Chains A and B, each alone.
Chain A
């Protein structure tokens, strides 16, 4: 060891820098191996076993994956997850962009309003969930606010199979739109005002200026927002676990794949199946993210 370091001391400066560089990145590499690579590989291996947690895993090859194809709960969770992803991405992209455009304008009290708008991001999702559960009591505040329009004394926001997933989407979007608004706002701020001014001088109106000049330049921001919001949506767990009736109900309309992994692994002692669902979810997120990143490599617009 010491002789190696001594010989290192006699080596070229490039060699020395390379070795020291490796030494400096070693902690990160070790951290990555222990906390990322090892769990991923073991998850993959567990997905090929019959593992009840209570006794050692037994190798079953691809059996768990074959079983998933006819697993009613898994197939249901696939459709629930896809619905949730659509509901918590596309509206979030549009509404957060509109909010960013609004807060990009100058108006009295803008900073205060912006701060107020951002506050739903601050509490943890579990706190948000509990607050919304109270608001969504059958005769709670939300019902009272909508009573003039619906005429209903009670609305089962969380326990009606048709309404409950929409309620989850509303709660999620309430807390995520301000976050993505801030990302869009950062993107908008990075666009030089001269470009807008030039478009206006050339006869474009504000909408044309936005569509033809600003939006193309926001493409990297859009890809970032799309990727992060999609990943978060695919991994949905906390809200559904915390406030859906019976954790995923009613009738499994809120059983996302994330929740199913928890149920299979830690409630039903079916860790092999849970790992198989995790691998499928991982693959889905990977495909969607690669697709979205691929889009960003298309026609590039640069400020250079």
Chain B
């Protein structure tokens, strides 16, 4: 009797143990999706995910939002633990690291709803250049959720108070920028800056590749060769830009790293021109009650290239360690979520350059977006290199040695170049 009971229990346990396996083979696929916290976008994400699940009963979506400041740490530690999301919305800054470490799966065009990769590129305005942010060796590794580049905002009231016309007098070259900024700068009796005309953004090292390097590129140089992973820093072009930044702080005394962050200063009415916000800055500027106009980025008078600041973007990327069926489901979801560019623009201010959206009357009549798109179309992405943040850290250190520490460019630039080359060599070897 007891032997029969034992056999029955064992048989029952075996059946129970087999149930998940059988179910897993034919049952729904679960896609773990991680997105940044961007409050206006979350309800739309949730609505579209519910719609996607209803249309695809064989796919479940686990939707997780992660605060911006925790994103890098959370994603890296999750991936390190062998888990992490199957589909995630990642900025292009560290994409070189992710690609280099084999984390990224190539886009599955068919699963995403396209005939092939070329069809994806064709579906976007400036597709070849704007999707280049997720392209390595001719293979696409992401679908864009937000394309961005910085425009120049002018505070019309501060311009008019200085007797300037914000449209006609807005500087078109960096040489003019100095003259106009000087007219808009107000100092108190002790010489302290009360209002800045314009200033660069000094706070974060990434701006060395988002702002400083594009100014070098306008002159025909480029600090980083992302294909060969080589730095070219001790060059005449870098010297010209570095001299300009140095004079801005130490000779012309128009700004510097010691002052309030430019974005905050512009929003509080203490900075007349700000050139480091994308179209996502518009709601903040409007909320701050600032009467503004938007302008293209200045170029050098002797510019060789017509690029503005560096493009950057957020892309849907798929974890290469996910199971093949999960990857396919993830690309299907990514294709679905990127099929509503106008709604994401309306609700959350996120720009995807889908041709049907960009060519719509709605977009063409927008007061600012054509300006952003025009600059984006002629600009390049920041270098997509491994050890991106380590390189920007080294560049910022070199900048500060010259501008804050007063060291000679003759000493610092060759050392910067060597340091960055060492970092790139080590990262390439990993």
Contact = CB atoms under 8 A, between A and B. Distances in A.
Interface string A120-155: 000000000000000001110001000100001110
A296 to B, nearest CB: 39
B387 A268 contact: yes
A266 B190 CA distance: 43
A251 B404 contact: yes
Interface string B186-199: 00101111100000
B133 to A, nearest CB: 19
Interface string A220-258: 000000000000000000000000011001111000000
Contacts of B102: 55
Contacts of B82: 56
Contact of B259 (A54, A138, A160): A138
A54 B97 contact: yes
Interface stretch (B6-14, B107-115, B142-150, B388-396): B388-396
B251 interface: no
B284 interface: no
A161 B192 contact: no
A53 B80 contact: yes
Contacts of A249: 396-397, 400
Given A54-B76, A159-B256, A268-B387, A154 B192 contact: yes
A188 interface: no
Which of the listed residues B73, B80, B101 has the most CB atoms from chain A within 10 Å of its own CB? B80
Given A153-B192, A245-B202, A54 B397 contact: no
Contacts of A158: 258
A266 B76 contact: yes
Contacts of A161: 400, 404-405
B383 to A, nearest CB: 16
B67 to A, nearest CB: 14
A263 interface: yes
A153 B188 contact: yes
A161 B402 CA distance: 12
Which of the listed residues B72, B202, B396 has the most CB atoms from chain A within 10 Å of its own CB? B396
B202 A268 contact: no
A266 B390 contact: no
B191 A54 contact: no
Contacts, number: 99
Given A55-B101, A153-B190, A154-B191, A159 B404 contact: yes
A158 B260 CA distance: 12
B428 interface: no
B393 A263 contact: yes
B191 A250 contact: no
A138 B192 contact: yes
A292 interface: no
Contacts of A147: 190
A245 B203 CA distance: 6
Size category, A interface:
20 to 34
A272 to B, nearest CB: 10
Contacts of B256: 156, 159
Nearest to A252: B397
A271 interface: yes
Nearest to A248: B393
Interface in B401-430: 401, 404-405, 430
B235 interface: no
Contacts of A65: none
Contact of A52 (B72, B101, B257): B101
Which of the listed residues A53, A158, A161 has the most CB atoms from chain B within 10 Å of its own CB? A53
A18 interface: no
A117 interface: no
A153 B192 CA distance: 5
B98 interface: yes
A161 B257 CA distance: 12
Given A138-B258, A268-B387, A246 B204 contact: yes
A129 to B, nearest CB: 15
A175 B82 CA distance: 41
B135 interface: no
B205 A246 contact: yes
A139 B101 contact: no
A52 B80 CA distance: 8
A267 B390 CA distance: 8
B77 interface: yes
A110 to B, nearest CB: 40
A269 B191 contact: no
Contacts of B430: 50, 52
A271 B103 CA distance: 17
Contact of A251 (B76, B188, B400): B400
Contact of A156 (B94, B190, B204, B258): B258
A4 to B, nearest CB: 24
Nearest to B404: A250
B400 A250 contact: yes
Which of the listed residues A54, A139, A153 has the most CB atoms from chain B within 10 Å of its own CB? A54
Interface of A: 50-56, 137-139, 143, 147, 152-154, 156, 158-161, 245-246, 249-252, 263, 266-271
Interface of B: 72-73, 76-77, 79-80, 82, 94, 97-98, 101-103, 188, 190-194, 202-205, 256-260, 387, 389-390, 393, 396-397, 400-401, 404-405, 430
CB-based closest 10 A-B pairs: A153-B190, A54-B101, A153-B192, A159-B258, A139-B192, A156-B258, A53-B76, A53-B80, A268-B390, A250-B400
Given A54-B97, A246-B203, A268-B390, 15 more contacts: A52-B101, A52-B430, A54-B101, A56-B82, A138-B193, A139-B188, A139-B190, A143-B192, A153-B188, A154-B193, A159-B258, A161-B404, A246-B204, A266-B76, A267-B393
14 contacts: A50-B430, A52-B97, A55-B102, A55-B103, A138-B192, A139-B194, A152-B190, A154-B190, A156-B258, A159-B404, A161-B404, A246-B205, A249-B400, A269-B76
